[in-house]
Amino acid sequence: MNWVPADSSDFGGTLPRPRSGHTAINVGKSKVVVFGGLVDKRFLSDIAVYDVENKLWFTPECTGSDSDGQVGPSPRAFHVAAAIDCHMFIFGGRYGNRRLGDFWMLDTDIWQWSELTSYGDLPSPRDFAAASAIGNQKIVMYGGWDGKKWLSDVYVLDTISLEWTELVVSGTLPPPRCGHTATMVEKRLLVFGGRGGGGPIMGDLWALKGLFEGDNETPGWTQLKLPGQPPSPRCGHTMTSGGVHLLLFGGHGTGGWLSRYDVYHNDCIVLDRVSVQWKRLATTNTSPPARAYHSMTCVGSRYLLFGGFDGKATFGDIWWLVPEDDPIAKRSPSLPPPSIPLHESEAASMESSSPQHDTKGREKEESAASVLQKRLGISISATGSELMVVHESRDEELIELCLKLAGDRASNVDKVACIQALREHWQQTPSSSLQLKELGPLLWDYQRLIIQQHLKNIESLSLYLESNPSKQQIYQFAHIKDASQLSMDDIPKLLNEYRHLLSN
């Protein structure tokens, strides 16, 4: 197989804008429909369609509205999508820090959206789930993240009656997870990888039987351990069915406790359904940049790769993966469209309920750690490029952490007292017991205390450090802009410096 960047001769029309966390599915054999996603802190709700026969990208004029008069679903990313005949079904996803549980259908013959009222065992709002069509009537959905816990439930939707059924599965269950793939192969749902409860990235493969009523099979999971060269543990990858093969591409893995050691993949691994083993796909030419939360669809004998992110940039490039005898296999590659750096303004974060890009705010490129962990519900904050530190009363992550520490008393607690309680908590907590979500607020409070003690008001810490270089040796972490730059060995040192500042 050959990787070939798409060029202007491959398509007509307007290409979709860069994004990650979107869905792209085949509707029949004639079109690929892209919906939603995320770019530069903006959640999207647009539709982009690739007309396979005419080699044309276009944006349809959709009709239909919900109770608020909005045409189509609200902006979202990390939702699930599946196609039955000419209909695309959308469920869940995320907008800001809110998980969604609404259910939509798009009729691609007339481009009409309908918000559906479903019945039965309704699934809870979630993102990072995975779903697949079962035959030409049903859809199965597995797992995800509801904002508090990783899920391992299985739901089957009848698209005719609009009734959800939670599948009762006997025997051993896979660990809960999100960011995995779920692909129907004949009469089995194959689930691979994902991030599991407690945070580990997984590389296990499971098969679920009992999804077809006429077969009289009791629903049950089986863990498959296949020969060959299996993929490394990962999440945010794609698994695309093409002929007798399942093609796994990309995704994100980790090599350490802090995700500064995260790795993004651009390898291709094939699950051969005939020999029932993993195989590394030999590819020629230059491979696409590594990425996760992209899309990969099968178009005839070709695979179409679009979008994704690598922790630093959101991609808008389009690549073909084609057989060696394909006419475009040997053409000279042209440069793909540039990627869009991920930015974060001083006031916005992935956990904001209404993430709007502040073009006037100071911006910085996010690290792989902060991007992925925020999208998985584990927040590591980042400040502006000049280390502007806000007052604690306006530090939303600090306040949120304080309220979580207060627990049931959160509605009645005084914020000043709550912040003091959090600082006392950090004074007493061993470094080994710190939670990952505490590192960002701890780092910013450390820098805030430096400013309060030396400048007596809130202003740029960068300017202070530049004018007092000796302080950079006393306060080793005053210059750090992102908590993901901390190593494990840095945590006890940071805590010691922080406690010294508190004692003063």
Which whole number is the average pLDDT over 182-199?
A: 89
Chain mean pLDDT for the chain: 82
Predicted pLDDT at 128:
96
Calculate Rg over the CA atoms of the chain.
Answer: 24
452-477 pLDDT, tens digit per residue, is 777 654 445 555 555 555 555 567 78
Report the predicted TM-score, pTM, of the whole model to 2 decimal places: 0.68
Phi–psi pair at 402, nearest 5 degrees: -60, -45
Contact 239, 190 (CB under 8 A): yes
- In the structure, what pLDDT confidence band is assigned to residue 374 with cuts at 50, 70 and 90? very low
C-alpha span between 412 and 419 (Å, rounded): 14
DSSP lists the bridge partners of residue 235 as 252
Question: Strand runs (DSSP E) across 77-162, as ranges?
Answer: 80-84, 87-91, 94-95, 98-99, 103-107, 112-115, 119-120, 130-134, 138-145, 150-158
Predicted pLDDT at 284:
76
Instruction: Map residue 495 onto helix, strand or coil.
Output: helix
- In the structure, what pLDDT confidence band is assigned to residue 24 with cuts at 50, 70 and 90? very high
404-436 pLDDT, tens digit per residue, is 777 644 455 677 888 888 898 898 888 877 877
Which whole number is the average pLDDT over 218-227?
A: 94
pLDDT exceeds 50 at position 234: yes
Predicted pLDDT at 356:
28
Q: Give the percent of the chain with pLDDT over 90.
A: 50
